[in-house]
Structure 1
Amino acid sequence: MSLCLGLVPRPGQTEEVAQRDLPRATLNAGMYLVHVQVAATAEQRAIGLMYRTDLRDNEGMLFIFEKPQMQCFWMKNTYIPLTAAFIADDGAIVNTVNMQPRTTNSHCSTQPVRYVLEVRQGWLAQHGFGPGKRLTGGPFKEN
């Protein structure tokens, strides 16, 4: 996963441990399901998918922030190439970015958002999902 810029592990926090026991939800991307772990606290978001060495094609992590704001992610200590989808409150994808493993350059939303979905790189595009498409399920209500 990537790390939210500005979030730093707290002193005493165990490093190099992938988090796998987060709450789970299922999102709908058209006729496809994405099974996500939900990172809703600052600590969960800071670790995200760091240190993971595997991620199935229909799995990911959904980052939930308290309020819409510009979101920027990086890939420090993240070993899997990922696509990040920056998502509006109604589930509409605002923009997507492909992110390379173990890099520290910023990947940002083009407008303020509360949600960011990270999946294996290319999964969204392979399933016809990009800017303007709408996810449902989890925190995103049906029409």
Structure 2
Amino acid sequence: MGKSSAELLASGSQPFVFEVNGMPVFDESKPEGTVIAQDPRPGEMVKHGRKVKITITTAVAKMIKMPQLSGDISLRHAKHILEDSGLQLGTVVEVESDHQVGLVIGQYREATGLPIKAGTEIRQGEKIKLEVGVTPRTPTDNGEGGDLEEDVEVDPTEISL
């Protein structure tokens, strides 16, 4: 991995065949045509003539339409929609709400923090920050309650599906 697909294919001395796996992936940190994943993995034994699937980078990001996530959609469902759309779940912010507990109530670009409307063209792979309604805190005996809005970092890999 890390070599350009042209270098790998031009070498010709490999005892296996390279096959590009699906669509190229946009990665602005790597030159176009760089191999970023392969199957089987590096170091695994491969039979002579076996196909090695590689994923390469492209210089042009695929543009997709932002799905509608806010409204009557749970965080779990929103995560599925993002993944199916080629987007990533970013920060999840809990916001107290009497009416939309457990539902997505706002969607934002992670990079800018600006709201993003459904149907807006965005780059595939972009991270989306979501606001999710939670039950309002009840005041304590001393009359103190919590903030109305609090940023909470949630690791997207820890969300059970």
TM-score (norm. length: structure 1): 0.25
Higher helix share: 2
Higher RCO (CA-CA < 8 Å; seq separation 6+): 1
Q: Which has the larger radius of gyration?
A: 2
TM-score (norm. length: structure 2): 0.24
Higher strand share: 1
